């Protein structure tokens, strides 16, 4: 590989094959094992360095080239016009972090069908800003960005070692089997869905407790994921017969938005400062 002393895999791929390659295209290639690092499946956020062997299947190399040409032909978007909207989402900022309250319906990263996202808005606000975790497009709430590479690497380690505490608020339909409980069911990606798989799935644990009975078999709950699997809360709640309201993918009660909100985050910074922030629940969240 080229001499990049330390870089995220997705950034290395863009430097090598084209800066316009959408994150969704990279993620799909990684899931399909068409991109390997030192012969092993990895993640787009994994760090690669000089001496690592990055394999990209020739078919994917062609895909990258084609996508890059298509993206170059599109007119450039001036994201600076969205800076005021982004600033309005900020609930905390210091020299190292920006924490926002993301609205439902806004993607965190650009994709092949997405022309506006948190990451490009953030870079228009501060060119050094970079995401350190992700929320589903349909999920609202706390999203953390680092303002420098050192903070980004530190937060990546915190998430990997489960030292970031996250709490969510959700509204579910159906009858909760318990007022509070723990769901321990391994998960695995299956095409565009996440499913429970006790043989091949990765460990996934979710705590929940009821907060308020909304009537009509709808309950507001607090949810604490102890692991960070994709769609974890949504799949786990659906698995006990209580899908999240508005969750089209996992058979949730029909509603105009997903009633899942990243409510609270707490962690200790590299400087030893404790941070605990709450994102107010939006007005469009509750089922009437």
277 DSSP β-pair partners? 265
Nearest residue to 100 via CA among 109, 88, 111, 110: 88
> What is the crossing angle of helices 23-31 and 9-17, to 10°?
110
**Which one is catalytic: 10, 96, 119, 136?**
136
Whether 94 is a known active-site residue: answer no
The long-range contacts involving 206-212, CB below 8 angstroms and separated by at least 24 positions, are 206/182, 206/232, 206/233, 206/236, 206/237, 207/180, 207/181, 207/182, 207/183, 208/180, 208/181, 208/182, 208/183, 208/237, 209/179, 209/180, 209/181, 210/176, 210/179, 210/180, 211/169
Residues recognised as catalytic: 136
């Amino acid at each position: 590989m080229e001499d990049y002393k330390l870089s995220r895999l997705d950034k290395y791929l863009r430097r090598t094959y084209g800066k316009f390659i959408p994150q969704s295209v990279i993620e799909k290639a990684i899931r399909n094992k068409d991109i390997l690092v030192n012969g092993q499946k990895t993640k787009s956020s994994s760090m690669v360095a000089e001496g690592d062997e990055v394999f990209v299947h020739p078919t994917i190399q062609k895909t990258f080239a084609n996508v890059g040409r298509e993206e170059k032909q599109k007119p450039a978007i001036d994201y600076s016009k969205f800076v005021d909207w982004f600033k309005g989402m900020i609930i905390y900022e210091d020299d190292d972090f920006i924490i926002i309250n993301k609205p439902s319906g806004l993607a965190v990263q650009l994709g092949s069908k997405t022309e506006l996202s948190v990451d490009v808005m953030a870079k228009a606000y501060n060119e050094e800003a970079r995401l350190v975790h992700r929320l589903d497009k349909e999920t609202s709430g706390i999203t953390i960005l680092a303002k420098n590479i050192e903070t980004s690497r530190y937060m990546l380690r915190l998430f990997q070692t489960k030292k970031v505490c996250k709490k969510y608020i959700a509204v579910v339909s159906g009858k909760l089997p318990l007022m509070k409980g723990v769901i321990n069911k391994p998960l695995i990606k299956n095409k565009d869905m996440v499913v429970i798989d006790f043989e091949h799935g990765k460990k996934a644990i979710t705590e929940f407790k009821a907060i308020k009975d909304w009537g009509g078999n709808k309950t507001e709950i607090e949810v604490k994921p102890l692991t960070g699997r994709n769609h974890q809360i949504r799949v786990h709640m659906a698995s006990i017969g209580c899908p999240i309201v508005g969750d089209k993918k996992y058979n949730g009660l029909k509603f105009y938005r997903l009633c899942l909100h990243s409510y609270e985050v707490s962690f200790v910074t590299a400087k030893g400062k404790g941070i605990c922030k709450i994102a107010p629940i939006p007005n469009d969240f509750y089922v009437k």
